[in-house]
Structures are given as C-alpha cells and as structure tokens.
Chains A and B, each alone.
Chain A
Amino acid sequence: MTDPMIRLDGATKTFPGTSTPAVDALSLEVPTGEIVVFVGPSGCGKTTTLKMINRIIEPTGGTITVDGVDVRDREPHLLRRDIGYVIQQIGLFPHRTIAQNVATVPRLLGWDEDRTRARVDELLVTMGLDEELGARYPAELSGGQRQRVGVARALAADPPVLLMDEPFGAVDPIVRGRLQVELLDLQARLRKTIVFVTHDIDEAIHLGDRIAILNVGGHLEQYAPPEDILREPATPFVEEFLGPERGLKRLALRTVADLGELGLGNCVQADASVEEAAQVAAEHQERWIGILDGDRLRGWAWVSDLDGARRAGDVETSLFRVALSAEDTLRAALDGLVRSRTGVAVVLGPDQRYDGMITLARLNQAMVS
C-alpha cells in the first residue's frame, strides 16, 4: 500500500477556556486517492478535525501530516494553497465574478493570465456550468450552481487534497443527490484525496470509500468501508447511528451488475410448447411464465391460461411493469420486486435486450455471501 496522503496521529484540540478537548487524541490515516467521510452527531468534532488539517484551527496536541510533511512545518497560507477547501456556506466572494472566484488560488499562486483563464474555462465545463455564468456575480446564481462554483474554486489549482465540510448541506435533497453523483463522477477521473464531512449517514454511505464514525470528543467509533460498517457495526453507538434499515442501506451499495450472470429465469420462448412452459414454471415454483421473442421479453401469462393453447406464445401476455438496468442498485431491485405482481424484477440491457430476472432468493444469497 502507498503512503497515506493524510495522517492524524493523536490529533487533539482543546479550545481556550474549555476543559475537555473537542477532539481528543484522534488517530487515522486517509489513503491517497480515496474519499474518507467523517460522520457523527452534531458537535462531535468533525469540523474541528477537518480544520486542523489545513490549520484553520491549530491543534493543541498530536501530529498531522499531509503528503508526509508535518503541517506545522509549513506557512499556513502556503499550506492552504495546496489544499482545496469547500465549506457549507460556500463563501463565494460576492464582489467577484464567477470566473474571478474560480481563479482565486491560481491568482494567489501567481499563475499567468492565459493559464488561469484556460483553467477557469476548463473547470466551468467540468462542473457543468454554462460558460456565460463566468461573467456573473455569485448573487445571480442558484444555490446548486453556487455549490458547483465552490467545488470548482477548490479544484482550481489542482490540489491533491480536498477538504469538504458539509458542502451539500444547504441545497435541497434532489440537488444534493445530483451533486453527490457528480462528485463521484469527478472523483473517478481525478482521484483526489478527499476528506468529506457530513452528518447524513446516507450521504456518507453513498460517497465514502471509507467512513469514520465519530462520537463526542472526536472519539473514533469505527473506521471502515461502508459495506463493512453496515454488515458489522463495531459498537452499539455505530449501530444506533446507522439507524434502521441497515439491510436496505447495504443493498443500496451494490448494483444489479454485481450479481453477475442472472440466467434465463422463469421464461420460455414464444414457440415453446405449452407443456414445456408449464414444466419451467413448476421448476420455479411459480404460477406464471415469462414469454420471450428471441432476446426480447414479450411479457408474462398465467400458466392456467395456457390450457387449450398449443404454443406458449399463443395467449395474451401482460407486461412486466418494472424493468431494471445493470447500474441500478439492489435496493431499487428489491423495490421493483416488491412492486411487481410476479414477485421478480426484470433486468434489461442495451436496446431493451432481456438480461434475466432477480428473485428475492437471489438477493438474499447475494447479501449473505
């Protein structure tokens, strides 16, 4: 394993005039190129920990290194230019245009005009912001757009490390979901080392390669990939913090594609004989049968309706109302399965090609393995 990008070793902060530390001897390592999410109840020290990394808050004990260098050995303002920083309130400069806002750190670093302008244009595109927005002032943008500008500004000088303190906390759930997906897309390309603070466990599960669950005083309750935390919460605190529906949350971490080959399922071709259809249905212990036209799924019919027909395809079929694709989560699959009359969720590939069906048994098997 390569060296961790960020290492906290007994990091401690006792604020002046307080007796108990806000963060007490916290040790953890953030691997290079991963998203680590700090999550925990309000006041547990997430923000304090984050701000100790870029010395907005000076630690009162322990050591913090970024890229192998003790942060105390660097001038704070120089250290910070190498670390992207996004806060919940965003803090865009109201008197500067969007383009100027994004150009902040390049300007501080003394980049020349052309390079800065090219970088700003590139980032606006990356963040899905219209070029014409560059000339506007922050007050003339929507909340979601401002949030994107905040991220673009943090990425401007291409820092290897990004600190994000509840960056999507102030936008509505729909926009937040979209921003989360965008962040993951971005991360797939950029491979930054990201420390992300939230108090929303679902956001943590969705984004984190690893999750650090903190308790009051910056006490680390568990530090592991989301899958592990959901499967095996280390402490009662973690279990309670994860809340109900842990199983569903685990399902949300996996996709239909993770199930691998699904097989034909309870289906026959339209030209199969009625006897064959009845036999396939019996094998699957179902009273219905799916009817295929080659690699297309025509629909399904009750086995009892086949009486008197010659071929399985001769009777009228009902449509499967819920179809999934490979990138849907297993949680969506379960939802589809529950909503369908046949008790299965159909998976379609490109061009509506039939890829198989998911049963409850199949889901179960995936989760215990």
Chain B
Amino acid sequence: MSDQPNFWQTLLSVLSSFFGVQSERNRERDFRHGRPIHYILTGLLMATLFVLGVILLVRWALSLAGI
C-alpha cells in the first residue's frame, strides 16, 4: 500500500498529461501502483480549474481593454 502514489505525485502526473510530457519512471510507477479512479477524479478537477482559469484570463484581458 505504501507504494501507491500520494496526492502530489498523482497531481504531478495529471499535470504532465496536460503538458504532454511524462518521464518513463513516473509512468511505470503510476501504471504499476496507481488506481485509475484517482487519476480520473484529479483530471476532472484540473480540467474544471483550467476552464475557470481561461474564463478569468479572458475577463482580465477585457478589463485591461476597458470593456
């Protein structure tokens, strides 16, 4: 059980997948010891944050332009 990736490692793997680059070492660890549901939930959470981030970015750009 102690082999299972902790929250931060899971998060890092999800962010790596967003970025598109993952090291072979982490990939092997995830597939050997991880549970899919953890990655799926973290992925959904991160996707939501990403969309919120884009919305905020657009708002900020528009407020800079005075609209």
Say whether A and B bind each other: no
